[in-house]
Amino acid sequence: MLHPFGKLFGLGDKVEDEEEELELDPVETTKLQDEVVFMETSKIIANQYQPRSIFDEEKIQELAQTLQTHGMIQPIVVRPSDEEGIHEIIAGERRWRAAKSLDWEKVPVIIREMTDKETASVALIENLQREELTVIEEARAYEKLIEMHQLTQEALAQRLGKSQSTIANKMRLLKLPEEVHQAILNKQITERHARALIAIKDEEIQLKVLQQIVEKEWNVKQAESYIQRLMQDKEPPKKPRLKGINKDMRIAMNTIRQSLNMVSDTGIDLETDEQDLDDYYQITIKIPKKK
């Protein structure tokens, strides 16, 4: 049976013969794919590729109450780990945590054979589709999928049904200092606060402004106004205007500038410098090797 994400990321189950040969630890199971069996909660470990770094304890308790009333309707999906007798979660970590809080000795599971790459992809995409990740967790998930599957932002956007600009804007937040990431994860600031900080290129100043936002509990509009005033005080000299050149040259220069803006919109921090010299007009472009 083809995995739900197989068409998107080339994931698939092993052939049936391989599944039948899979030797599982004695956990009251047969060797059939997708058969629900009961496994000790102590023999299950969290997904090492879980993109969610913070679990809402209140929601875990709410889920635990549901499990206590209705039972676990949807089994946890696991795979054999490198440690004998231990299985790693592929999908369903919240259910596992809720069951542990109820001191359940066993939970229903489905055992599958999946590679690290497949496991990571399923964990990342499952959480992205739930739309419960923080913006930083979401951005890191995009970054990981791009890295694992060697995709461009545009290709990833097409496979996930999102716009390229959405993915680029989320990933741009990863360029901010770790302190800003933690502030978002701890819900001290919002995504829009963080976006406003991107305009500041000096990391030290970014952190000082972050401290102001948190301590003074500024809303987004207040933060944006402060940053705008700050940037006006430090506004760099304007690019030279194109004087004394023909129409074709002006069109060429404007086209180059528009192209550079499009590249910047993908999340790449370009550095450009324009000089109007005696015999020619010079544009210097610096493109970082690592995004």
Residue 255 pLDDT: 84
Nearest to 172 by CA among 206, 138, 204, 145: 138
Question: Residue 127 CB: number of other CB atoms within 10 A?
Answer: 20
84 by Cβ neighbours in 10 Å (0-12 / 13-18 / 19+) ranks as exposed
Closest by alpha carbon to 253, among 281, 287, 273?
Answer: 281
pTM of the model: 0.58
Answer yes or no: 154 catalytic: no
List beta partners, residue 89.
78
Q: What is the pLDDT of residue 16?
A: 35
Half-sphere exposure of 283 (CA within 13 A, CB side): 16
Query: What is the pLDDT, as a whole number, of residue 102?
Result: 93
Domain residue spans of the chain:
6-119, 176-235, 247-286
* Main-chain dihedrals φ then ψ at residue 286, nearest 5 degrees: -115, 120
Choice among 88, 93, 118, 143 that is catalytic: 93
One-letter amino acid for residue 105 of the chain: E
Q: Given this model, what pLDDT does residue 116 score?
A: 85
What integer pLDDT is reported at residue 160 of this predicted model? 82
Predicted local distance difference test score (pLDDT) of residue 23: 40
- Report the distance separating Cα 81 and Cα 26, nearest Å: 14
pLDDT confidence of residue 238: 56
Name 110's bridge partners: 36, 77
- Other beta carbons less than 10 A from residue 112's beta carbon: 22
Decide: 121 and 148 in contact? Cβ < 8 Å. Answer: yes
Contacts of 209 (CB under 8 A, 6+ apart): 197, 200, 223, 226, 227, 230
Rounded Cα distance between 41 and 34, Å, is 19
Mean pLDDT, 10 residues at a time, over the chain (291 residues)? 47 37 39 76 89 80 92 92 90 91 94 86 77 82 87 87 89 93 91 92 92 93 91 62 62 80 72 75 79 51
pLDDT for 67 equals 93
Q: How far apart are CA 225 and CA 205, in angstroms?
A: 15
CATH of 6-119, one of 3.90.1530.10, 3.20.20.80, 3.40.50.410, 3.40.50.720: 3.90.1530.10
